[in-house]
């Protein structure tokens, strides 16, 4: 499963729109229903208006009626197409993933390539998180 998700993310990486940072990111999320949704980062001249790959993939899943994410794979490349390391989700993306997952169950796959990845959980990346149940 990890390798399939990584392949899905790598398959859309070239669609990333990163004319300012030149750092291209793609993500693939696996939902509870077994569907996979992909997303890429989409930068904007007004920097805060950009969209992260993970948020893009989650938004696509939610817009298709999904409500639970089981795993996410994230890949990234610089302007020369080289991996500079494992790409971890930013704080906002971690919170968005938290909204649609169980932190200790959500697998987060940080990949350089299909055969080179690390696996962690959202709970490890976002301990003591605030989620829907926190609102009573």
What amino acid positions are annotated as catalytic residues? 54
99: part of which helix (H) or strand (E)?
A: helix 91-99
**Strand order of the sheet with strand 24-31?**
36-40, 24-31, 69-77, 107-113, 116-121
CA 128 to chain centre: 20
E strand spans, the chain: 24-31, 36-40, 69-77, 107-113, 116-121
């Amino acid at each position: 499963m990890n390798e399939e998700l990584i392949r899905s993310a790598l398959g859309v990486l070239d669609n990333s729109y990163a004319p300012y940072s030149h750092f291209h990111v793609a993500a693939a999320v696996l939902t509870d229903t077994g569907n996979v949704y992909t997303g890429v980062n989409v930068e904007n001249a007004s920097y805060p208006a950009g969209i992260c790959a993970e948020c893009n993939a989650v938004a696509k899943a939610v817009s298709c009626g999904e409500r639970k994410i089981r795993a996410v794979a994230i890949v990234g490349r610089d302007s020369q197409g080289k991996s500079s390391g494992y790409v971890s989700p930013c704080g906002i993306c971690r919170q968005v993933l938290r909204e649609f997952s169980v932190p200790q169950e959500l697998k987060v796959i940080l990949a350089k390539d299909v055969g080179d990845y690390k696996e962690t959980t959202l709970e490890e990346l976002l301990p003591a998180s605030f989620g829907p149940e926190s609102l009573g």
